[in-house]
């Protein structure tokens, strides 16, 4: 069997080994059913136990108040770029957006395609999205304020979330959900594709406050209504059962093995601190994000030349350090330090970086 690499991929990303091992052990005979999880009915008591346990763990981990619904949907975060303005901008209202990179730009594009009233109240495009904007005014009475909590491509992250008063926050947390605790009460909706910090690709978690459900217009297609999925406990149609099952196991790992989000944040800050600390000690590796906007999840950096970057990625792969190539739109290098990446994995990367710099500096 080929040895596993240290997986720094940005998504689909690393999963906890104990989760993968449990999936392997249960795959042919799921909990004594004589069937695989890929074969059991989504209407069965067995699968409903998985689904409901996942929902309960999200509620506990995020300390959600009782007026939030947890949904498991398909279509990725990109479909939420459309569903959010369709459902949550009432007639005569407008929404605010903050643009901090590729995914926020895509969300804004979709609200434009729909022709829904909106305003981009801040952007970091002027400096190639290297920072998180600090100076902006939220429009009084806006339907919501949309922002992307972590930016995988540019390596920036909101250290603290924007203050919007009575305007509900709506956030794409695809790449840093479950990485740290936060107060959910100001949020009207949180969404996240699973394939970075939650599980495999194929399912998207949507956490929506009940008062937001009341905004739904009458003319939406059934599958694009949040109420459709909230009223049927995400079982209106056949859900991605395997992906939900694996998310449930990851949630269990965060809650029971790691010890919750406070413990998870401590680990994540230590990992990122080690890598940024080494990079700051050398001129060979240069971070691309402003120091006060740096992401704990995605560390983006450049080497002195593009040829050295290609060599770095290739030689790292030979040392079983994978997924270090930067996004195709920006180049460079990137190490994604999602929850499943251990401190020891980061130390292995730093040791390789030191050796590579010594040989090529």
Pick the catalytic residue from 69, 154, 196, 325: 196
| Pairing verdict, β 298-302 and 333-336 | antiparallel
Q: Which CATH number fits domain 260-360: 3.10.50.40, 3.90.1150.10, 3.40.50.1100, 3.20.20.70?
A: 3.90.1150.10
Does the annotation count 196 as an active-site position? yes
Contact 174, 192 (CB under 8 A): yes
Pick the catalytic residue from 69, 96, 154, 172: 172
Q: For residues 102-113, give the mean pLDDT.
A: 98
Q: Check residue 361 and give its pLDDT.
A: 85
Q: DSSP E strands: which ranges in the chain?
A: 6-7, 68-73, 95-99, 118-123, 145-148, 150-151, 156-157, 169-172, 187-193, 204-209, 286-287, 298-302, 321-322, 333-336
Q: What single DSSP character describes residue 157?
A: E
What are the pLDDT digits (tens) for 17-28?
999 999 999 999
302/351 Cα distance (integer angstroms): 17
Q: Check residue 285 and give its pLDDT.
A: 98
Residue ranges covered by each domain of the chain: 17-258, 260-360
Q: Check residue 3 and give its pLDDT.
A: 80
Mean pLDDT of the chain: 97
What are the pLDDT digits (tens) for 64-101?
999 999 999 999 999 999 999 999 999 999 999 999 99
Fold of 17-258: 3.40.640
| Max CA pair span of the chain | 65
Q: For residues 116-132, give the mean pLDDT.
A: 98
Does the annotation count 116 as an active-site position? no
261 CB-near residues (< 8 Å, 6+ apart)? 61, 62, 178, 179, 180, 181, 254
Backbone angles phi, psi at 113, to 5 degrees: -60, -40
Length reported for the chain? 361
Q: Check residue 34 and give its pLDDT.
A: 96
pTM higher than 0.95: yes
256/267 Cα distance (integer angstroms): 15
Q: Check residue 2 and give its pLDDT.
A: 60
Q: Check residue 219 and give its pLDDT.
A: 92
What are the pLDDT digits (tens) for 294-349?
999 999 999 999 999 999 999 999 999 999 999 988 999 999 999 999 999 999 99
Q: Check residue 117 and give its pLDDT.
A: 98
The closest of 182, 184, 200, 191 to 249, measured between CA atoms, is: 200
166/209 Cα distance (integer angstroms): 14
Q: How many CA atoms lie within 13 A of 35 on its CB side?
A: 11
Pick the catalytic residue from 69, 96, 103, 253: 103
Contact 95, 115 (CB under 8 A): no
Confidence of residue 260 (pLDDT cuts 50, 70, 90): very high
| Pairing verdict, β 187-193 and 204-209 | antiparallel
Q: Check residue 221 and give its pLDDT.
A: 97
Q: Do domains 17-258 and 260-360 have the same CATH topology?
A: no
Residue with tokens 């699973």: 194
Does the annotation count 158 as an active-site position? no
């Amino acid at each position: 069997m080929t040895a596993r690499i240290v997986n720094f991929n940005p998504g689909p990303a690393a999963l906890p080994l104990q989760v993968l091992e449990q999936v392997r052990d249960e795959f042919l005979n799921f909990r004594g059913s004589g069937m695989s999880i890929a074969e059991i009915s989504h209407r069965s008591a067995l699968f409903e136990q998985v689904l409901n346990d996942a929902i309960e763990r999200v509620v506990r981990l995020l300390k959600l108040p009782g007026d939030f619904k947890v949904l498991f949907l398909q279509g990725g975060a990109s479909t939420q770029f459309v569903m959010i303005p369709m459902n949550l901008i009432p007639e005569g209202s407008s929404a605010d957006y903050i643009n901090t990179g590729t995914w926020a730009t895509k969300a804004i594009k979709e609200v434009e395609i729909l022709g829904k009233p909106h305003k981009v109240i801040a952007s970091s495009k002027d400096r190639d999205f290297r920072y998180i904007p600090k100076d902006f005014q939220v429009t009084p009475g806006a339907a919501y304020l949309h922002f992307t909590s972590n930016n995988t491509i540019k390596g920036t992250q909101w250290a603290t979330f924007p203050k919007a008063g009575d305007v509900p926050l709506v956030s794409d947390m695809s790449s840093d959900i479950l990485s740290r605790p936060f107060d959910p009460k100001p949020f009207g909706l949180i969404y996240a594709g699973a394939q970075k910090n939650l599980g495999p690709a194929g399912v998207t978690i949507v956490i929506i406050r009940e008062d937001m459900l009341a905004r739904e217009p009458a003319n939406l297609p059934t599958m694009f209504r949040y109420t459709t999925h909230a009223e049927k406990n995400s079982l209106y149609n056949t859900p991605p059962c395997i992906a939900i099952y694996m998310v449930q196991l990851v949630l269990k790992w965060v809650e029971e093995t790691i010890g919750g989000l406070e413990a998870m944040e401590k680990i994540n800050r230590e990992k990122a601190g080690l890598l940024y600390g080494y990079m700051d000690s050398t001129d060979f590796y240069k971070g691309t994000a402003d120091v006060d906007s740096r992401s704990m999840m995605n560390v983006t950096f450049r080497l002195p030349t593009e040829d050295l970057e290609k060599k770095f990625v290739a030689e790292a792969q030979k040392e079983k350090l994978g997924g270090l190539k930067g996004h195709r739109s920006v180049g460079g290098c990137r190490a994604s330090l999602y929850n499943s990446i251990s401190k020891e994995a980061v130390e292995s990367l730093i040791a390789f970086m030191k050796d590579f710099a010594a040989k090529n500096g």
